[in-house]
Chains A and B, each alone.
Chain A
Amino acid sequence: MRVVVLVKQVPSEDVGLSFAPDLTVDRGGLPGVLSAGDRIAVDQGLRLAVRVRDVQITAVTMGPLSAREALRTALLLGADNAVHILDEALHGSDALATSLVLAAAAARLEFDLVLCGSASADSGMSAVPAMVAERLAVPGLHFADELLVRERKVEIHRDDGHGDLRVLVADLPAVVSITERCGEPRYPRYVSRVDAREKLISTWSLGTLSIDPAQVGRRGAACVVDAVTPHRPARPRALVEGDPTSTAVRLADFLAEREFL
């Protein structure tokens, strides 16, 4: 089974963002690591091997030279090989363009299953997995809290909020995005570290994927950023004091606003 894992590099910690003059996020100076969700995605790919024969995992990322670190981590965690889509023209790509490139890469690799971590909220990329599935015209199963892959079928457990839980099934090939609830990835053995150095990272350009540079990057963006303003630290937000009744009402409002009631 051919598994393609789409991975991305994220800053290693909660640091203040810096924005380049063109208002794109400046990732140049930040230390980056493989995102937690993607680690789990690679690990889930490995776990398939228990039920499915001949699992071949390819990690794919799109990004600047530094994104190669994320691929190395994916290889160390057990991916068999990796593809780095590196092209000057990709700078400033929005979600739509990102999905175009990733879908083209997955199609070129030929896949039975595309796995990716669900992007953390407010990364601006949370809709990418759904876009990739749509572009590949295969079923998309998103936000899987549990993943079960059989020879020709994939099943996920998913929490829809409001206490609704569903089990969804689709035939392969499919795109699945998973959440961190799938469980911590196993810690790699030392041999994997040694082996990872030998594994191949191919570099593809837009030309490799036959994508017109005008469709991606800043030029091809369907959205533009007008302004970026620092707001307030993420947390803490609000601290309320007062008598128990009014704070309880305030709490209930808060929960209701977020659809937890």
Chain B
Amino acid sequence: MRQVLVLAEGTTGTRRATCALLTVARRLGAPAVVLGGPADPAGTALLGRFGAKTIYPMPAPGPGGQSAAARVEMLVELARRTSPAAILIASGRDGLEIAGRVGVRLDSGVLSDVVDVLDGPVAVQSVRGGSYLVRSRVVRGVPVLAVRTEHITVVPDPATPAVRQVRVAFPAGVYAVRTVRPRTGRTSASPELSTAAVVVTGGRGVGSRAAFDLVNRLAEALGGAAGGSHTATELGWCPRKALVDQVGTIVHPSLYLALGVSGSQRHCAGMRGAATIVAIDSDPAAPIFRLSDLGVVGDVHQVVPELLAEIERRRAQPVISTRTVTEA
């Protein structure tokens, strides 16, 4: 069976995304995980649980080496040595960069926004926010697939992985981009609203200044910035500069959580650029739900404390949920 190279997320690959990639990789061949760092027993066990047959730890590229560039070198080297059936990469910011660079280096076709992978490999791509599904194939080189793993149902299939060290000579280019200030993990300081990756806003449904603390707490839990709708700022529940609105701050976060915001035209104009939108509101007819990727019909005062508790539980005891993903 041919190998399928799976690029691990993070350095150890112990994230859900890696498990999702392994789940689809098994359909194409023998999954081999390429790590972004050294292997550790816990990581190896987890990857094994989801069917990794081989694990390639990455030799440290030395001080100043940038991980994306080093991983490109690893993937190119391994692809040349093992001619895999495909290279699977989770479609994040690093992932897209790596996929593109590997594609050029191998002169291989790259497919992005893959939401499912069938034998062949045939990739199912989501186009225009899912309005269309496109089936595509790579006809030249090693298929490089950038997969949006949130669409993949993670299924375990235990295997015993072999950890294989590989020697890779890192060229000078690996050191071309340097990280000068890593800020890893959630920082206590709340980020700027306009550049925040996660934004949580509260609206009329929050009901009072006291209850607005829920918005701040959820923002903090997700490492995001807290904002308010027109009503919330108007009533002084949050500062005016936290207004998310066409006439306030226009935000472009990766995740936008709207709590008790009905979704006026002006508000929507201020947050439509968010990549993922989640809304909680008690009115099922609230216009915000028309924009949301996930809408929760419920009382902010009840759902948010439960959510905060659930987040805390998961932080304390990380699990990789293998629950079936349901899409409306």
**A contacts B directly (C-beta below 8 A):** yes
A residues with CB within 8 A of B = 14, 16-17, 23, 36, 94-96, 99, 121-122, 124, 126-131, 133-135, 137-143, 145-146, 155, 157-171, 179-181, 183-184, 221-242, 244-245, 247-261
**B182-222 interface (Cβ within 8 A of A):** 182-187, 194-195, 197-198, 222
Q: A130-B96, A233-B131 are in contact. Are A251 and B255 (CB under 8 A)?
A: no
15 A-B pairs besides A181-B194, A252-B311 with CB distance below 8 A are A17-B128, A23-B134, A124-B127, A134-B100, A134-B105, A161-B93, A168-B178, A222-B108, A222-B138, A223-B139, A231-B131, A238-B327, A244-B302, A251-B303, A256-B16
Residues of A contacting B273 in the complex (Cβ-Cβ under 8 angstroms)? 36, 180
Across the interface, A95 reaches (CB within 8 A) one of B92, B103, B140, B252, namely: B103
Residues of B contacting A234 in the complex (Cβ-Cβ under 8 angstroms)? 128-131
Measured CB to CB, the closest approach of chain B to A166, in angstroms, equals: 5
Measured CB to CB, the closest approach of chain A to B106, in angstroms, equals: 10
Residues of A contacting B15 in the complex (Cβ-Cβ under 8 angstroms)? 259
Complexed CA–CA distance, A233 and B130 (Å): 7
Are A253 and B183 in touch, CB under 8 angstroms?
Answer: no
Across the interface, A244 reaches (CB within 8 A) one of B128, B130, B306, namely: B306
B residues with CB within 8 A of A = 9-10, 15-17, 66, 92-94, 96-101, 103-105, 107-113, 122, 125-141, 146, 149-150, 173, 176-187, 194-195, 197-198, 222-223, 250, 252, 254-255, 273, 275-278, 280, 284, 289-299, 302-303, 305-307, 309-311, 314-315, 321, 323, 325-328
Residues of B contacting A166 in the complex (Cβ-Cβ under 8 angstroms)? 179, 181-183
Are B184 and A164 in touch, CB under 8 angstroms?
Answer: yes
Residues of A contacting B182 in the complex (Cβ-Cβ under 8 angstroms)? 164, 166-167
Are A163 and B255 in touch, CB under 8 angstroms?
Answer: no
Residues of B contacting A230 in the complex (Cβ-Cβ under 8 angstroms)? 131-132
Majority SS at the chain B contact face? mixed
Q: A124-B113, A168-B177 are in contact. Are A259 and B16 (CB under 8 A)?
A: yes
Are A232 and B307 in touch, CB under 8 angstroms?
Answer: no
Are A258 and B137 in touch, CB under 8 angstroms?
Answer: no
Across the interface, A237 reaches (CB within 8 A) one of B93, B105, B255, B293, namely: B293
Which of chain B's residues has its CB closest to A238's CB?
B328
Most A CB within 10 A of own CB, among B136, B185, B289: B136
Complexed CA–CA distance, A99 and B103 (Å): 11
Are B139 and A237 in touch, CB under 8 angstroms?
Answer: no
Measured CB to CB, the closest approach of chain B to A146, in angstroms, equals: 7
Are B136 and A254 in touch, CB under 8 angstroms?
Answer: no
Measured CB to CB, the closest approach of chain A to B7, in angstroms, equals: 14
Residues of B contacting A241 in the complex (Cβ-Cβ under 8 angstroms)? 284, 296-298
Which of chain A's residues has its CB closest to B304's CB?
A248
Are A168 and B303 in touch, CB under 8 angstroms?
Answer: no
Residues of A contacting B103 in the complex (Cβ-Cβ under 8 angstroms)? 95-96, 127, 131, 222
Are B177 and A227 in touch, CB under 8 angstroms?
Answer: no
Residues of A contacting B133 in the complex (Cβ-Cβ under 8 angstroms)? 228-229, 231
Are B306 and A248 in touch, CB under 8 angstroms?
Answer: yes
Are A167 and B150 in touch, CB under 8 angstroms?
Answer: no
Complexed CA–CA distance, A242 and B302 (Å): 11
Residues of A contacting B280 in the complex (Cβ-Cβ under 8 angstroms)? 251
Complexed CA–CA distance, A157 and B255 (Å): 18
Complexed CA–CA distance, A138 and B289 (Å): 44
Measured CB to CB, the closest approach of chain B to A23, in angstroms, equals: 8
6 closest A-B pairs (Cβ-Cβ)?
A234-B129, A222-B109, A127-B100, A130-B100, A248-B306, A238-B328
Are B183 and A224 in touch, CB under 8 angstroms?
Answer: no
Most B CB within 10 A of own CB, among A17, A126, A158, A180: A126
Which of chain B's residues has its CB closest to A19's CB?
B132
Complexed CA–CA distance, A158 and B277 (Å): 21
Which of chain A's residues has its CB closest to B99's CB?
A127
Across the interface, B177 reaches (CB within 8 A) one of A94, A170, A183, namely: A170
Complexed CA–CA distance, A240 and B292 (Å): 12
Residues of A contacting B299 in the complex (Cβ-Cβ under 8 angstroms)? 244
Measured CB to CB, the closest approach of chain A to B47, in angstroms, equals: 17
Are B294 and A163 in touch, CB under 8 angstroms?
Answer: no
Are B134 and A228 in touch, CB under 8 angstroms?
Answer: yes
Are A130 and B290 in touch, CB under 8 angstroms?
Answer: no
Are B252 and A226 in touch, CB under 8 angstroms?
Answer: no
Complexed CA–CA distance, A248 and B315 (Å): 15
